[in-house]
Amino acid sequence: MTHESKPSGADWHRARRAAILRGPAGDAVRALGRPSRWTAVVAGGMQLLDLGLAAWCGLAGLPVWAIVLLAYGPGAWCAMARFAFLHETVHGIGAGRTKRVRHLLLRLGDLPTMGIANYVYYRWGHIDHHRRLGRDSADRLETTEGPVDLDLLFQTDTMTLSRAEGERPTPPPGWRRSAGLNLLRITARQLAYSVIDVLSLPVMVVTGFPYMRRRGPDFLRDTRLQAALVCAQIALIGLLLGWPALLYLFLAQTFFYIPIHPYFAYFSATHGAPPGGARPQPTMSIDGGRWFTVATFALDHHVEHHDFPNVPWYRLPKLRRLAPAFYPAGQRHAGVFSTIGRAMRAPPIYAAQGLELDDGRPPAG
């Protein structure tokens, strides 16, 4: 049975949304979907903080170890703020009431940056991720001109997933039994990807983003323009603030994605069903404490977000409180670093591919 013909993660979330809205909290949940500009305000402040930290690194003569620490802590948080702003913008629940304005905000909202992957993902793939969660195999990324779950592009090295239509999900190539070796392998690969992404920016100005080229001339023209904008921004920051500022920006967005940083719990597990789980779900939230909710701008409430993508990030905890039976603690990943450890020992199954999903309803009793 293909992913297209069996119930998918997108279907699972759609059924849950309908069930919650039919329940006693339905009207209160609907009210949470009001658009909000707070994300733009917060993200703008974080952009200024990021530029200030880059300037500090560049002009104050900080040692490399201090730049590394700044990038690991506040720098990665600023990178997450940009990520969250793009996320809210593409869903139309932040700033920007028209597509043209939202596209402009996506183009400018990811600055300062050292690459275009986040922009490409949100401009061209995130809505399809919601619509097609669990339906696609990795080979569809390069073989279709139509919509595709672009999250697959970022999970081929970290999760068990289907690589060709109709095939069983398989662990990432080169996966080892040792969690430590897997952590080192993924860290090294992500560092290499980050370096390649920066060095290839001038090439992207000419050719466009190297993946999903079947999207056509509009896609290539748009990604070439974004690559040119990022190249100009890098040149300007380098000229005014020097290489330490660029090093800070590079490390901040690299730490963002690798297993030695708490954020990896979000990227490696929110769409990973634990192998052997009794009630497989295509999406999992993370119990990491209030600090992790603040650090991720509530993207740790990920089941809640996929159930109601029109709810702004800071209202997602209230959504959980309004419908607690649908979001029990036992169906969330427990702990940030323990979640990363489990993912390194056994790669989660992306969107529970190949598994029979639970019905998405609260457990009886």
Tens of pLDDT along the chain (365 residues)?
344 456 788 999 999 999 999 999 999 999 999 888 888 889 899 999 999 999 999 999 999 999 999 999 999 999 999 999 999 999 988 776 788 888 999 999 999 999 999 999 999 989 999 999 998 999 888 888 888 898 998 898 899 999 988 888 999 988 998 999 999 999 999 999 999 999 999 999 998 888 777 788 999 999 999 999 999 999 999 999 999 999 999 999 999 889 999 999 999 889 988 776 556 889 999 999 999 999 999 999 999 999 999 999 999 999 999 999 999 887 889 999 999 999 999 999 999 888 888 766 775 54
User: Which helix (H) or strand (E) segment is 334 a member of?
Assistant: strand 333-334
Cis check: omega of the bond before 112, within 30 degrees of 0: yes
Tally of CB atoms within 10 A around 177: 8
Q: Are strands 272-273 and 349-350 parallel, antiparallel or unpaired?
A: antiparallel
Q: Is 204 helix (H, G, I), strand (E, B) or coil?
A: helix
Start-to-end C-alpha separation, the chain: 33
Contact of 109 with 43, CB cutoff 8 Å: yes
Whole-angstrom Cα distance, residue 87 to residue 318? 19
Q: What is the pTM of this model?
A: 0.92
- Cβ contacts of 121 within 8 Å, gap of 6 or more: 150, 153, 154
User: Which helix (H) or strand (E) segment is 52 a member of?
Assistant: helix 38-59
Q: Which residue has the tokens 């297993």?
A: 259
- The token pair at 174 is 């080169």
Contact of 358 with 278, CB cutoff 8 Å: no
120: closest CA among 232, 249, 223, 2? 223
